[in-house]
Structure 1
Amino acid sequence: MLDFKHYDSAFARRYDTLDRTLVPILAWNFHREYLDEVKNIYVDCIKLNLIASNSKWGVDDWDFKNKLKEEVIIVTDAKLEIVFASHNLTKMNGYREEEVMGRTPKMFHGSATNSLTSNEIRKAIQLQEPFEKTVLNYKKNGDTYLCLIKGFPVFNRKGELSHFIAFEKAA
Protein backbone atom coordinates (compact mmCIF):
# COMPACT_ATOMS: atom_id res chain seq x y z
CA MET A 1 0.00 0.00 0.00
CA LEU A 2 2.88 2.33 0.79
CA ASP A 3 4.29 1.85 -2.72
CA PHE A 4 1.08 3.10 -4.33
CA LYS A 5 1.10 6.27 -2.24
CA HIS A 6 4.67 6.98 -3.34
CA TYR A 7 3.74 6.29 -6.94
CA ASP A 8 0.68 8.60 -6.77
CA SER A 9 2.75 11.31 -5.15
CA ALA A 10 5.53 11.04 -7.75
CA PHE A 11 3.02 11.05 -10.56
CA ALA A 12 1.29 14.15 -9.18
CA ARG A 13 4.63 16.01 -8.93
CA ARG A 14 5.56 15.02 -12.49
CA TYR A 15 2.12 15.95 -13.86
CA ASP A 16 2.34 19.40 -12.29
CA THR A 17 5.63 20.09 -14.10
CA LEU A 18 4.40 19.09 -17.55
CA ASP A 19 3.76 21.73 -20.19
CA ARG A 20 0.20 20.83 -21.17
CA THR A 21 -1.71 21.99 -24.21
CA LEU A 22 -5.44 22.07 -23.81
CA VAL A 23 -7.60 20.57 -26.53
CA PRO A 24 -10.01 23.16 -27.88
CA ILE A 25 -13.68 22.45 -27.43
CA LEU A 26 -14.00 22.67 -31.21
CA ALA A 27 -12.34 19.24 -31.50
CA TRP A 28 -15.36 17.69 -29.80
CA ASN A 29 -17.58 18.98 -32.62
CA PHE A 30 -15.90 16.63 -35.08
CA HIS A 31 -16.78 13.68 -32.90
CA ARG A 32 -20.32 14.98 -32.43
CA GLU A 33 -20.78 15.35 -36.20
CA TYR A 34 -19.64 11.76 -36.65
CA LEU A 35 -22.03 10.53 -33.96
CA ASP A 36 -24.89 12.53 -35.49
CA GLU A 37 -24.14 10.96 -38.88
CA VAL A 38 -24.14 7.44 -37.42
CA LYS A 39 -27.39 8.15 -35.58
CA ASN A 40 -29.04 9.56 -38.74
CA ILE A 41 -28.04 6.50 -40.78
CA TYR A 42 -29.45 4.25 -38.05
CA VAL A 43 -32.75 6.19 -37.93
CA ASP A 44 -33.03 6.20 -41.73
CA CYS A 45 -32.44 2.43 -41.84
CA ILE A 46 -35.20 1.90 -39.29
CA LYS A 47 -37.61 4.08 -41.30
CA LEU A 48 -36.78 2.31 -44.57
CA ASN A 49 -37.10 -1.15 -43.04
CA LEU A 50 -40.45 -0.12 -41.54
CA ILE A 51 -41.72 1.04 -44.95
CA ALA A 52 -40.50 -2.22 -46.52
CA SER A 53 -42.08 -4.32 -43.79
CA ASN A 54 -45.43 -2.50 -43.75
CA SER A 55 -45.65 -2.57 -47.53
CA LYS A 56 -44.52 -6.20 -47.70
CA TRP A 57 -41.80 -5.52 -50.23
CA GLY A 58 -40.83 -8.66 -52.08
CA VAL A 59 -37.14 -7.70 -51.91
CA ASP A 60 -35.32 -8.17 -48.60
CA ASP A 61 -31.72 -7.67 -49.70
CA TRP A 62 -31.46 -3.86 -49.89
CA ASP A 63 -28.23 -2.75 -48.25
CA PHE A 64 -29.58 0.55 -46.90
CA LYS A 65 -26.83 1.12 -44.36
CA ASN A 66 -24.00 1.20 -46.91
CA LYS A 67 -26.09 3.08 -49.47
CA LEU A 68 -26.90 5.81 -46.94
CA LYS A 69 -23.21 6.47 -46.35
CA GLU A 70 -22.70 7.60 -49.94
CA GLU A 71 -26.09 8.25 -51.49
CA VAL A 72 -29.39 9.95 -50.87
CA ILE A 73 -32.36 7.59 -50.82
CA ILE A 74 -35.80 8.80 -51.84
CA VAL A 75 -38.87 6.57 -51.72
CA THR A 76 -42.14 7.49 -53.39
CA ASP A 77 -45.45 5.72 -53.32
CA ALA A 78 -46.95 4.34 -56.54
CA LYS A 79 -48.41 7.83 -57.30
CA LEU A 80 -44.86 9.27 -57.10
CA GLU A 81 -45.43 11.24 -53.89
CA ILE A 82 -42.37 11.24 -51.66
CA VAL A 83 -42.88 9.17 -48.50
CA PHE A 84 -39.24 9.05 -47.38
CA ALA A 85 -36.10 11.10 -47.96
CA SER A 86 -32.85 10.29 -46.20
CA HIS A 87 -31.20 12.80 -43.89
CA ASN A 88 -28.33 13.43 -46.31
CA LEU A 89 -30.71 15.07 -48.79
CA THR A 90 -29.94 18.35 -47.01
CA LYS A 91 -26.24 18.03 -47.83
CA MET A 92 -26.99 17.43 -51.50
CA ASN A 93 -29.58 20.09 -52.22
CA GLY A 94 -30.53 21.96 -49.05
CA TYR A 95 -34.01 20.46 -48.60
CA ARG A 96 -35.01 18.77 -45.36
CA GLU A 97 -37.14 15.63 -45.29
CA GLU A 98 -40.23 17.44 -44.02
CA GLU A 99 -40.03 19.94 -46.90
CA VAL A 100 -40.26 17.25 -49.59
CA MET A 101 -42.75 14.83 -48.01
CA GLY A 102 -45.93 14.48 -50.08
CA ARG A 103 -44.41 16.25 -53.09
CA THR A 104 -43.12 14.68 -56.30
CA PRO A 105 -39.45 14.50 -57.32
CA LYS A 106 -40.27 17.00 -60.07
CA MET A 107 -39.84 19.64 -57.40
CA PHE A 108 -36.08 19.37 -58.00
CA HIS A 109 -36.47 20.16 -61.72
CA GLY A 110 -36.35 23.57 -63.32
CA SER A 111 -36.08 25.39 -66.62
CA ALA A 112 -32.59 24.01 -67.40
CA THR A 113 -33.54 20.39 -66.65
CA ASN A 114 -33.30 18.35 -69.86
CA SER A 115 -36.84 17.45 -70.93
CA LEU A 116 -35.57 14.48 -72.99
CA THR A 117 -34.00 12.93 -69.90
CA SER A 118 -37.14 13.67 -67.87
CA ASN A 119 -39.25 11.95 -70.53
CA GLU A 120 -36.98 8.89 -70.49
CA ILE A 121 -37.37 8.65 -66.71
CA ARG A 122 -41.14 9.11 -66.99
CA LYS A 123 -41.31 6.33 -69.60
CA ALA A 124 -39.28 3.93 -67.40
CA ILE A 125 -41.62 4.71 -64.49
CA GLN A 126 -44.71 4.06 -66.62
CA LEU A 127 -43.23 0.75 -67.79
CA GLN A 128 -42.20 -0.03 -64.19
CA GLU A 129 -38.59 -0.58 -65.21
CA PRO A 130 -35.35 0.38 -63.47
CA PHE A 131 -33.43 3.33 -64.87
CA GLU A 132 -30.13 5.16 -64.41
CA LYS A 133 -29.91 8.77 -65.57
CA THR A 134 -27.98 11.92 -64.83
CA VAL A 135 -30.30 14.89 -64.39
CA LEU A 136 -29.71 18.59 -63.89
CA ASN A 137 -31.56 19.36 -60.65
CA TYR A 138 -32.03 22.50 -58.61
CA LYS A 139 -30.99 23.07 -55.01
CA LYS A 140 -33.23 24.86 -52.54
CA ASN A 141 -31.21 28.05 -53.05
CA GLY A 142 -31.71 27.87 -56.85
CA ASP A 143 -28.23 26.61 -57.78
CA THR A 144 -28.05 23.68 -60.19
CA TYR A 145 -26.26 20.38 -59.72
CA LEU A 146 -25.91 17.17 -61.70
CA CYS A 147 -27.56 14.24 -59.99
CA LEU A 148 -27.00 10.58 -60.87
CA ILE A 149 -30.27 8.76 -60.19
CA LYS A 150 -30.64 4.99 -60.05
CA GLY A 151 -34.38 4.33 -59.79
CA PHE A 152 -36.20 1.05 -59.22
CA PRO A 153 -39.84 0.05 -58.99
CA VAL A 154 -40.55 -1.91 -55.81
CA PHE A 155 -43.18 -4.62 -55.79
CA ASN A 156 -44.90 -6.25 -52.85
CA ARG A 157 -44.97 -10.02 -52.34
CA LYS A 158 -48.10 -10.26 -54.48
CA GLY A 159 -46.21 -8.72 -57.40
CA GLU A 160 -48.10 -5.42 -57.26
CA LEU A 161 -46.31 -2.08 -57.62
CA SER A 162 -45.81 -0.68 -54.15
CA HIS A 163 -43.21 2.10 -54.33
CA PHE A 164 -40.36 3.54 -56.32
CA ILE A 165 -36.96 3.89 -54.72
CA ALA A 166 -34.15 6.12 -56.01
CA PHE A 167 -30.51 6.12 -54.99
CA GLU A 168 -29.05 9.51 -55.84
CA LYS A 169 -25.70 11.24 -55.60
CA ALA A 170 -24.19 14.39 -57.00
CA ALA A 171 -22.47 13.56 -60.27
Structure 2
Amino acid sequence: MKSVNAEDVTWRNSVPIMAWDFHYEYVKELKALTVDLEKVNQISNRFTWDEKELNIKERIKNEVVVVTDLSLRIVFASSGIKKMTGYREEEILGKTPKMFQGPETSEKDLDEIREALKLRIPFEKTLDNYRKNGKTYKCKINAFPVYNQKGKISHFIAFEKQDLSA
Protein backbone atom coordinates (compact mmCIF):
# COMPACT_ATOMS: atom_id res chain seq x y z
CA MET A 1 0.00 0.00 0.00
CA LYS A 2 1.28 3.46 -0.98
CA SER A 3 1.69 5.96 1.78
CA VAL A 4 0.21 9.45 1.35
CA ASN A 5 1.85 12.42 2.94
CA ALA A 6 -0.01 15.48 4.22
CA GLU A 7 1.50 17.82 1.59
CA ASP A 8 0.04 15.72 -1.25
CA VAL A 9 -3.45 15.81 0.21
CA THR A 10 -3.35 19.52 0.92
CA TRP A 11 -2.17 20.36 -2.59
CA ARG A 12 -4.84 18.23 -4.32
CA ASN A 13 -7.68 19.68 -2.26
CA SER A 14 -6.69 23.30 -2.54
CA VAL A 15 -7.74 25.87 -5.08
CA PRO A 16 -5.47 28.77 -5.94
CA ILE A 17 -6.63 31.99 -4.31
CA MET A 18 -6.65 33.70 -7.72
CA ALA A 19 -9.41 31.33 -8.86
CA TRP A 20 -11.62 32.55 -6.02
CA ASP A 21 -10.98 36.16 -7.00
CA PHE A 22 -12.08 35.44 -10.58
CA HIS A 23 -15.10 33.54 -9.34
CA TYR A 24 -16.09 36.38 -7.02
CA GLU A 25 -15.84 38.93 -9.86
CA TYR A 26 -17.93 36.69 -12.11
CA VAL A 27 -20.62 36.26 -9.45
CA LYS A 28 -20.57 40.00 -8.76
CA GLU A 29 -21.09 40.75 -12.48
CA LEU A 30 -23.92 38.20 -12.71
CA LYS A 31 -25.64 39.75 -9.71
CA ALA A 32 -25.31 43.26 -11.19
CA LEU A 33 -26.73 42.00 -14.50
CA THR A 34 -29.70 40.43 -12.70
CA VAL A 35 -30.38 43.65 -10.78
CA ASP A 36 -30.11 45.68 -14.02
CA LEU A 37 -32.59 43.41 -15.80
CA GLU A 38 -35.02 43.65 -12.88
CA LYS A 39 -34.86 47.47 -12.95
CA VAL A 40 -35.42 47.61 -16.73
CA ASN A 41 -38.29 45.13 -16.44
CA GLN A 42 -39.93 47.32 -13.79
CA ILE A 43 -39.80 50.33 -16.14
CA SER A 44 -40.95 48.21 -19.07
CA ASN A 45 -43.88 46.77 -17.14
CA ARG A 46 -44.89 50.12 -15.71
CA PHE A 47 -45.03 51.74 -19.14
CA THR A 48 -46.08 48.57 -21.02
CA TRP A 49 -43.25 48.71 -23.52
CA ASP A 50 -43.39 46.80 -26.72
CA GLU A 51 -39.95 45.17 -26.27
CA LYS A 52 -39.87 42.85 -29.30
CA GLU A 53 -37.17 44.68 -31.23
CA LEU A 54 -35.15 46.11 -28.33
CA ASN A 55 -33.40 42.86 -27.38
CA ILE A 56 -32.47 44.32 -23.98
CA LYS A 57 -31.85 40.96 -22.30
CA GLU A 58 -29.04 40.10 -24.72
CA ARG A 59 -27.59 43.56 -25.30
CA ILE A 60 -27.27 44.45 -21.62
CA LYS A 61 -24.62 41.72 -21.30
CA ASN A 62 -22.12 43.57 -23.51
CA GLU A 63 -23.34 47.14 -23.63
CA VAL A 64 -24.29 49.88 -21.22
CA VAL A 65 -28.02 50.57 -21.30
CA VAL A 66 -29.25 54.09 -20.63
CA VAL A 67 -32.96 54.93 -20.51
CA THR A 68 -34.23 58.51 -20.55
CA ASP A 69 -37.68 59.95 -20.24
CA LEU A 70 -39.06 62.15 -23.03
CA SER A 71 -37.32 65.23 -21.60
CA LEU A 72 -34.05 63.24 -21.86
CA ARG A 73 -33.59 62.90 -18.09
CA ILE A 74 -31.80 59.64 -17.25
CA VAL A 75 -34.14 57.25 -15.41
CA PHE A 76 -31.92 54.16 -15.61
CA ALA A 77 -28.31 53.26 -16.39
CA SER A 78 -26.98 49.73 -16.21
CA SER A 79 -24.12 48.91 -13.86
CA GLY A 80 -21.60 49.00 -16.74
CA ILE A 81 -21.89 52.80 -16.71
CA LYS A 82 -19.38 52.95 -13.84
CA LYS A 83 -16.72 51.04 -15.76
CA MET A 84 -17.24 53.11 -18.92
CA THR A 85 -17.62 56.61 -17.42
CA GLY A 86 -16.53 56.46 -13.78
CA TYR A 87 -20.02 57.56 -12.65
CA ARG A 88 -22.33 55.39 -10.57
CA GLU A 89 -25.98 55.24 -11.62
CA GLU A 90 -27.02 57.33 -8.60
CA GLU A 91 -24.76 60.17 -9.77
CA ILE A 92 -26.40 60.48 -13.18
CA LEU A 93 -30.09 59.78 -12.49
CA GLY A 94 -32.19 62.85 -13.28
CA LYS A 95 -29.45 64.39 -15.41
CA THR A 96 -29.22 64.43 -19.19
CA PRO A 97 -26.61 62.65 -21.34
CA LYS A 98 -25.23 66.14 -22.01
CA MET A 99 -23.21 65.62 -18.81
CA PHE A 100 -20.87 63.32 -20.79
CA GLN A 101 -20.13 65.92 -23.47
CA GLY A 102 -17.41 68.53 -23.66
CA PRO A 103 -15.18 70.59 -25.93
CA GLU A 104 -14.10 67.66 -28.12
CA THR A 105 -17.66 66.39 -28.67
CA SER A 106 -18.67 67.07 -32.28
CA GLU A 107 -21.36 69.77 -32.59
CA LYS A 108 -22.31 68.36 -36.00
CA ASP A 109 -22.97 64.93 -34.47
CA LEU A 110 -24.90 66.50 -31.59
CA ASP A 111 -27.07 68.42 -34.08
CA GLU A 112 -27.80 65.18 -35.93
CA ILE A 113 -28.71 63.46 -32.65
CA ARG A 114 -31.01 66.34 -31.67
CA GLU A 115 -32.74 66.09 -35.06
CA ALA A 116 -33.20 62.30 -34.70
CA LEU A 117 -34.67 62.80 -31.22
CA LYS A 118 -36.99 65.52 -32.48
CA LEU A 119 -38.16 63.25 -35.32
CA ARG A 120 -38.30 60.32 -32.88
CA ILE A 121 -36.22 58.07 -35.09
CA PRO A 122 -33.38 55.65 -34.18
CA PHE A 123 -29.80 56.82 -34.56
CA GLU A 124 -26.27 55.50 -34.30
CA LYS A 125 -23.31 57.77 -33.59
CA THR A 126 -19.85 57.60 -32.10
CA LEU A 127 -19.07 60.60 -29.92
CA ASP A 128 -16.09 61.86 -27.98
CA ASN A 129 -17.55 61.68 -24.48
CA TYR A 130 -15.99 62.53 -21.14
CA ARG A 131 -15.44 60.35 -18.10
CA LYS A 132 -15.83 61.56 -14.54
CA ASN A 133 -12.06 62.09 -14.40
CA GLY A 134 -12.21 64.39 -17.45
CA LYS A 135 -10.59 61.99 -19.92
CA THR A 136 -12.26 61.44 -23.26
CA TYR A 137 -13.38 58.15 -24.75
CA LYS A 138 -15.11 57.16 -27.97
CA CYS A 139 -18.69 56.17 -27.16
CA LYS A 140 -20.66 54.26 -29.77
CA ILE A 141 -24.34 54.98 -29.20
CA ASN A 142 -27.23 53.05 -30.74
CA ALA A 143 -30.48 54.68 -29.62
CA PHE A 144 -34.20 54.18 -30.19
CA PRO A 145 -37.48 55.69 -29.13
CA VAL A 146 -39.39 53.19 -26.98
CA TYR A 147 -43.11 52.74 -27.58
CA ASN A 148 -45.75 51.24 -25.37
CA GLN A 149 -48.15 48.64 -26.65
CA LYS A 150 -50.61 51.36 -27.66
CA GLY A 151 -47.98 52.78 -30.02
CA LYS A 152 -47.23 55.87 -27.93
CA ILE A 153 -43.61 56.84 -27.22
CA SER A 154 -42.67 56.76 -23.53
CA HIS A 155 -38.84 56.77 -23.37
CA PHE A 156 -35.61 56.67 -25.30
CA ILE A 157 -33.18 53.81 -24.83
CA ALA A 158 -29.51 53.87 -25.78
CA PHE A 159 -27.14 50.94 -26.01
CA GLU A 160 -23.62 52.25 -25.55
CA LYS A 161 -20.12 50.87 -25.57
CA GLN A 162 -16.64 52.22 -25.74
CA ASP A 163 -15.42 52.13 -29.33
CA LEU A 164 -11.87 50.80 -29.08
CA SER A 165 -11.38 50.72 -32.86
CA ALA A 166 -11.47 54.50 -33.22
TM-score (norm 2): 0.89
1:103 to 95, 98, 122: 95
The amino acid across from 1:81 in the alignment is: R
Structure 2 residue runs of 5 or longer lacking an equivalent are none
The amino acid across from 1:158 in the alignment is: K
2:45 & 2:143 partners in 1: Cα distance?
20
- Does residue 94 in structure 1 map to residue 86 in structure 2? yes
- Does residue 117 in structure 1 map to residue 109 in structure 2? yes
Residues 63-102 of structure 1 mapped to structure 2, 5 A cutoff = 63-102=55-94
2:70 & 2:42 partners in 1: Cα distance?
17
| Structure 1 residue 40: Cα displacement | 0.7
- Does residue 41 in structure 1 map to residue 30 in structure 2? no
Q: What is residue 7 of structure 1 aligned with on the other side?
A: none
Is the 8 Å Cα contact of residues 41 and 65 (structure 1) preserved in structure 2? no
| Structure 1 residue 47: Cα displacement | 0.8
Structure 1 residue runs of 5 or longer lacking an equivalent are 1-9
2:45 & 2:52 partners in 1: Cα distance?
9
1:131 to 123, 138, 153: 123
- Does residue 25 in structure 1 map to residue 24 in structure 2? no
2:135 & 2:95 partners in 1: Cα distance?
20
1:15 & 1:66 partners in 2: Cα distance?
50
Greater gyration radius: 1
Give the number of aligned pairs.
161
Identity %: 49
- Does residue 143 in structure 1 map to residue 96 in structure 2? no
Q: Deviations over 1:99-153 (max 9, x none)?
A: 0000000000001100000010010000000000011100000000001100000
The amino acid across from 1:167 in the alignment is: F
3-state SS of 1:133 partner: strand
3-state SS of 1:153 partner: strand
3-state SS of 1:134 partner: strand
Q: What is residue 6 of structure 2 aligned with on the other side?
A: 16
